[in-house]
Amino acid sequence: MKERLVLLPGWAMHSGVWGDFATQLSEHFTLTLIDQLPSFEHLDAVADSIVALLDDEPFYLLGWSLGGNAALNIAQRYPSRVKGVILLATNPCFVAKETWAGMPLAMFRAFAQQVHLNAPATLQSFLAVQCQGVDNGEALLNTFKVHFASKDVLPLTDLMQNLALLEKVDLRDTLAHLTCPITAIFSDNDALVPVNIGQAMQELQPNLQLHIVEKAGHIPFMAKTAVCVNIICAFIDGIREN
């Protein structure tokens, strides 16, 4: 019987962007694709609304970027439901703090202002930023744009509310006290999440399995699909064997 794996997309993204990654995962797992992260003022409400979409069967969570923050929150709030968590390019505290690497607050707020003024153009630029430094970057960006255009984007009010959520989210304590198995996949050249966050997360949560993928930007599941699928399969197989 295949394990159930729930996929949570990143900010402004949707289930259509998973592409071949979801196809390959479906060979090993029963997938539930959350189409878009719901928009709420608090992450607890995001978590509750996602879990409300699921049946009572226990599941694994895979969250990309902001979706990873939602996955951590769900694992904290529903420990009996979550069998394990996979984080893709996720920073539990996205905006930098004095002792924690992340996006500088001024840069984050400038980006939010750009979204507010011209969301369509800013989102296209955001796709390009996520592809920075990846192998076959131009071709991959074109594929990314096609996948992104396959579904409607959230309304501007929802995009802004989820940005406000991302600005204030700090799940370092949640990560430190997580009881389920957890693995994290980072890229060595992610323009949005510093790679050294992985080691900092491991110091908070020694049981975290850390994987660094080369030249995968902010989209390791697209840039290094087979590598990520193999990591995920090995992680879940290891849990099943114990």
Can you give the pLDDT at residue 51?
97
pTM over 0.85: yes
Task: Say how far apart CA 237 and CA 130 lie, in whole Å.
Answer: 30
Q: What is the pLDDT at residue 1?
A: 82
pLDDT of residue 242: 78
List of the chain residues with pLDDT < 70? none
Measured distance CA(175)–CA(171) in Å, rounded: 6
135 is catalytic: no
Query: Whole-angstrom Cα distance, residue 219 to residue 234?
Result: 20
**How far is it, in rounded angstroms, from Cα 202 to Cα 154?**
33
Could you give the CA distance from residue 86 to residue 63 in angstroms, rounded to a whole number? 6
Who's near 37: CB < 8 A, 6+ residues apart?
A: 8, 9, 10, 11, 46, 50, 66, 67, 70, 162
Please indicate whether residue 218 is annotated as part of the active site: yes
Euclidean distance between CA atoms 242 and 85, whole angstroms: 16
Catalytic residue among 14, 147, 211, 218: 218
* One-letter identity of residue 150: S
Strands of the sheet containing 59-64, edge to edge, are 30-33, 4-8, 59-64, 82-88, 182-187, 209-213
Bridge partner residues of 209 (DSSP): 183
42 is catalytic: no
- pLDDT, tens only, 118-172: 999 999 999 999 999 998 889 999 999 999 999 999 999 999 999 999 999 999 9
From 14, 65, 147, 211, active-site residue: 65
Alpha helices (H) in 37-130, listed in sequence order = 43-51, 66-77, 105-117, 119-130
CA 149 → CA 28, 69, 89, 144, distances in Å? 27, 24, 22, 9
What's the pLDDT at 220? 97
Sign of CA dihedral 200, 239, 217, 163: negative
Residue 85 forms beta bridges with which residues?
61, 182
- d(CA 62, CA 123) in angstroms, rounded, equals 23
Measured in whole angstroms, the distance separating CA 169 from the mean position of its chain's CA atoms is 14
Tell me which of 14, 147, 190, 211 is the catalytic residue. Answer: 190
pLDDT of residue 214: 96
